[in-house]
Amino acid sequence: MSPAITTARPEAALLDLPWSTPLEDWPASVLAALPRGISRHVVRFVRLGTKVLAIKEIKSELADREYGMLRNLRRLGVPCVEPFGVVHGRTGADGRPLDSCLVTRHLQFSLPYRVLFSQSLRPDTAVRLMDALALLLVRLHLDGFWWGDVSLSNALFRRDAGAFAAYLVDAETGELHPQLSDGQRQHDLDIAQVNIAGELMDLDAGGFLEDQADPFEVAASIIERYHSLWEALTGTERFEVGDRWRVDERIRRLNDLGFDVDELTMTTDLGGTQIQITPKVVDAGHHSRRLLRLTGLDVGENQARRLLNDLDAYAAATDRQGDDEEIVAHDWLTRIYEPITRSVPRELTGRLEPAEIFHEVLEHRWYMSELAGHDIPIDEALADYVATVLPSKPVEKSVVGVDTVEMPVIAWDE
């Protein structure tokens, strides 16, 4: 009997995959060589034309539930993997039923945390990963999503202008509510602290964690960062009527965190001497949306901020700050951004995504200029970056090969 495939994007090639074979026994000819994190289920990456899909073998009702949850999260604009379909009705060659499969699109240039920690990264890598996960958790909670299984293993990380952006990859235990209570949020934080400490202890046992990093302190940092973000986004301020300039300051602070403000709730006391302000946050992505509107570039929030800074600098350098912003942005895109990203040799284009390469070229130029004591032309900085820096970067784009690489489980079993 043929399997029943539910998908929002019909792909006839899905029928060609060996659904009658247990997922762990799929042949190497259909697999893609990508690093895989720890999972309680069998997970494989497969090639499907030009796409790379992640397939997870799971019980039927759980597959349907997670597929629907991911679709809802995508509608809310939450950073998460894209659901591709669900496969039911699988039977083995012996006629016995097999579990269903959840199919998602692989997130290009993303890596599981174990791969990041196995690379030679700066000492503050652990803290930056915690920041990324804390920001993701805040965004989920603002949208009413209770994760129920917060961990590094259930997220993927992409480089975002020197920092990291986290994406939810496993929504199996999640619940979507109109609004989360403080108790629900704290429950998620308790789960996060325990899971992350365990994962970091595993890395420490394998020699992957920096010597000075304490797993429990690093795990606790996500709680501190979460509370700081949550307070900045939802906290209530009281100030005198004469200090109304602080309304603008608060909005700027939220924008700097990557969030927009839809409306402000202002309440005046009976005496009329104080105003209470509570921002209503709609979504993150202030900078990325502005860059997308101006240039059509769809990049990470930190990358967008960095590119917009360069765009603003270009406008100032060309004395065009009063010109139409969209025209200036088009000139910057065609004269600055595209010539740089298109100058990368084809064999190195899979190292980093274009926006990250552009960011790193700008950083490289700054370091070269500082060392030289004068401004270095961008072309010279680009040539030096391509020759000395980019070749040493690991390949972070989807790499299709003959097998799936699985990072070893060392000491801690999820």
4-106 folds as: Phosphorylase Kinase; domain 1 (3.30.200)
Cβ–Cβ < 8 Å for 401, 388: no
Q: Which of 47-61, 148-162, 172-186, 355-369 has the highest mean pLDDT?
A: 172-186
What pLDDT score was predicted for residue 396? 63
What pLDDT score was predicted for residue 340? 93
What pLDDT score was predicted for residue 274? 60
Mean pLDDT of the chain: 83
Q: Which two tokens stand for residue 264?
A: 């402000």
Q: Which two tokens stand for residue 209?
A: 């964690």
Bridge partners of 48? 51
* Distance, CA of 380 to CA of 369 (rounded, Å): 11
Map residue 97 onto helix, strand or coil: strand
Residues 344-349: contacts with CB under 8 Å, at least 24 apart: 344/386, 344/390, 345/386, 348/386, 348/390, 348/391, 349/397
What pLDDT score was predicted for residue 411? 32
The superfamily CATH assigns to domain 111-234 is Transferase(Phosphotransferase) domain 1 (1.10.510.10)
* Distance, CA of 169 to CA of 172 (rounded, Å): 9
What pLDDT score was predicted for residue 229? 87
Q: Which two tokens stand for residue 166?
A: 């986290």
pLDDT score of 403 more than 50: no
Residue 101: its H or E element: strand 100-105
What pLDDT score was predicted for residue 361? 93
Question: How crowded is residue 34: how many other Cβ atoms within 10 Å of its Cβ?
Answer: 23
CA distances from 161 to 20, 303, 359, 360, 388 (A): 43, 5, 6, 7, 19
- More confident site: 149 or 263: 149
Cβ–Cβ < 8 Å for 251, 261: yes
Q: Do domains 4-106 and 111-234 have the same CATH topology?
A: no
What pLDDT score was predicted for residue 103? 94
- Say which range, 222-226, 246-250, 358-362, 403-407, has the weakest mean pLDDT: 403-407
What pLDDT score was predicted for residue 258? 65
Q: How confident is the model at residue 285 (pLDDT cuts 50, 70, 90)?
A: confident
pLDDT digits (tens, 9 = 90+) for 210-254: 776 788 988 898 899 899 889 888 887 777 766 666 776 777 777
Q: Using alpha carbons, select from 56, 26, 13, 21 the residue that is nearest to residue 403.
A: 26
pLDDT score of 80 more than 80: yes
What pLDDT score was predicted for residue 413? 31
Residues contacting residue 383 through CB under 8 Å, at least 6 positions apart: none
DSSP secondary structure code for residue 321 in this structure:
T
* Distance, CA of 218 to CA of 5 (rounded, Å): 42
Q: Which two tokens stand for residue 55?
A: 């397939």
pLDDT score of 273 more than 60: no
Cβ–Cβ < 8 Å for 385, 366: no
DSSP secondary structure code for residue 210 in this structure:
-
pLDDT digits (tens, 9 = 90+) for 303-335: 888 898 889 888 888 888 778 889 999 999 999
Q: How confident is the model at residue 276 (pLDDT cuts 50, 70, 90)?
A: low
Percentage of the chain beyond pLDDT 90 is 37
* Distance, CA of 110 to CA of 106 (rounded, Å): 8
Query: Domain boundaries in the chain?
Result: 4-106, 111-234, 237-284, 298-392
What pLDDT score was predicted for residue 380? 93
